[in-house]
Amino acid sequence: MTSVAAISLACLLTFGEDIAVSEAKTPPPSTTNETELAVKIQKAADRFENSYKRAYETAGLDWGRGPAPQIVLTPPPKPPLKVLKQIDKARKAAIEEMGALGPEAAPLLLRAKEISLAGGGVIYIQALIKIGKPAVPTLLDAFDDPDHSVRYRAVVSVGIVDKDQAVDRAIDLLKQKEQKKIAYGVEAFFCLRNSKKAVEPLLHVWNQGILRDLVVLALVAQNEKQAFQPLMTMTEEWLSEAEKTGDWNRKDRVFSYIRALNQMGDPRAIPLLKKLLKAGPQYYKDGEDYSVAEAAAEALRKFGYRVEGDRIKGGYRILAEPGKTKEKNSSADPIPDNS
């Protein structure tokens, strides 16, 4: 079975961006049975969280990861195998406990408050998968829920339990008249990958001239080669506009573009990635934000380039091209080559 965590991370990178949704709200349980189910889910989540904390603390490790810059610059030490086994045991116990509650618990698992640990809501997705096909009708209905976290859990869960039904439901949303519904359908295909059945409906939305950047990213997830040139064009337009206005603050979309170009692996993207390596502020105070140059450096490394630079000092530049070992003299602290 495909790793739930891997799927969740891959589609969460773009899921829900630039789509107007309401604030997440958990409606109060309407029946005694729902109240009891909600209490059981919360207790299982609390037991897992407490087990996670105890496992770390027993090993003398800090289970809290701290603010984002610290995650990147000083990653926490890798827990010993014993700690990982304890956490895995607690996770499996929580999944079993929640999954045993049956399909009646599915609406509550979709909206359960995220656990304040790495993975957040993934454990609820795993519980929904444990319930299996009996939960699918409820999950399919949630594909157009106003809350993007609910849609995310529903799409990932059905994508693993019954991908064909998930794809059909997302395509049905693409055929709706309301743009918000169409957007939810496009968004679903960030997670429902490698589905040839989705290509034609997505191209139909593209030809309508709406949601074009989202559609291109969804097509990339289907490994559709037709997405490459529009993706290049959108990235170039973003760069041109940022250079013209000097506004580099709206970077979230271009990060998605760079990831998509990286995923497609087409070497025609390399000249543009080299431009992005020199684009905008090379760094932000105390490494508090992720720069376009840093994203481009990571992409170029995956194409086999050796790139140096530092998220605090900037100074990104290419040391060596693929197949070449001779490096230029460097003055900045090198970033480890993760390619």
Decide if 220 is inside a domain: no
What tokens does 183 get?
């957007």
- Residue 163's contacts (CB-CB under 8 Å, 6 or more residues apart) are 192, 195
Instruction: Write out 306-319 in H/E/C secondary structure.
Output: EEEEECCCEEEEEE
**Is pLDDT above 80 for 39?**
yes
Q: Which residues of 233-262 are buried (b: 16+ CB within 10 A; e: fewer)?
A: ebbeebbeebeeeeebeebebbbbbbbbbb
Place of tokens 């406990």: 97
Q: Is residue 219 part of a domain?
A: no
Global pTM?
Answer: 0.73
Q: Are residues 157 and 232 in the same domain?
A: no
pLDDT of residue 259: 85
- Average pLDDT of the chain is 80
Angstrom distance (rounded) from CA 195 to CA 177: 23
Residue 5 pLDDT class (50, 70, 90 cuts): low
Q: Is residue 325 part of a domain?
A: no
SS3 298: helix
- Count the domains in the chain: 2
Q: Domain check: are 264 and 149 in the same one?
A: no
Phi/psi region, residue 194 (left: phi>0; alpha: psi -120 to 50; beta: rest), is left
Tokens at 149, concatenated:
């976290």
In a domain, 191, yes or no: no
The pLDDT confidence band at residue 28, using thresholds 50, 70 and 90, is very low
Domain assignment present for 96: yes
Query: Quick one: 99 and 246 in the same domain?
Result: no
Residues 14 and 156 in one domain: yes
Does residue 17 sit in the same domain as residue 141?
A: yes
Segment 109-148, tens digit of pLDDT: 999 988 866 566 889 999 999 999 999 999 999 999 999 9
**Torsion (CA) 118, 307, 281, 228 in degrees, nearest 10:** -80
Among candidate residues 113, 141, 161, the one where a domain is terminated: 161
Q: Which of 50-59, 254-263, 282-291 has the lowest mean pLDDT?
A: 282-291
Domain extent at residue 288: 228-320
**247 and 100 within one domain:** no
Is the pLDDT at 29 greater than 90, yes or no? no
Instruction: State the pLDDT at residue 226.
Output: 84
Question: Could you tell me if residue 190 is inside a domain?
Answer: no
Instruction: Note whether 299 and 273 are within 8 A (CB).
Output: yes
Q: Which residue has the tokens 């603390």?
A: 57
Cα–Cα distance, 6 to 126 (Å, whole number) = 12
In this structure, the answer to whether residues 126 and 17 fall within a common structural domain is yes
152 lies in the same domain as 254: no
Please say if the pLDDT value at position 8 is more than 60. no
pLDDT at 304 over 50: yes
Higher pLDDT, 77 or 136: 136
Mean pLDDT, residues 297-306: 91
Q: For the residues 206-234, what does the mean pLDDT come to?
A: 87
Are residues 134 and 243 located together in one domain of the fold? Answer: no
- Same domain? For 13 and 135 the reply is yes
- The answer on 151 and 46 residing in a single domain is yes
One-letter amino acid of 15: F
Between the ranges 61-65, 255-259, 270-274, where is the mean pLDDT highest?
270-274
Percentage of the chain surpassing pLDDT 70? Answer: 75
Q: Is residue 14 part of a domain?
A: yes
Lowest mean pLDDT among 7-21, 133-147, 204-218: 7-21
150/148 Cα distance (integer angstroms): 5
Residue 339 maps to a domain: no
Same domain, 238 and 121: no
DSSP 253: H
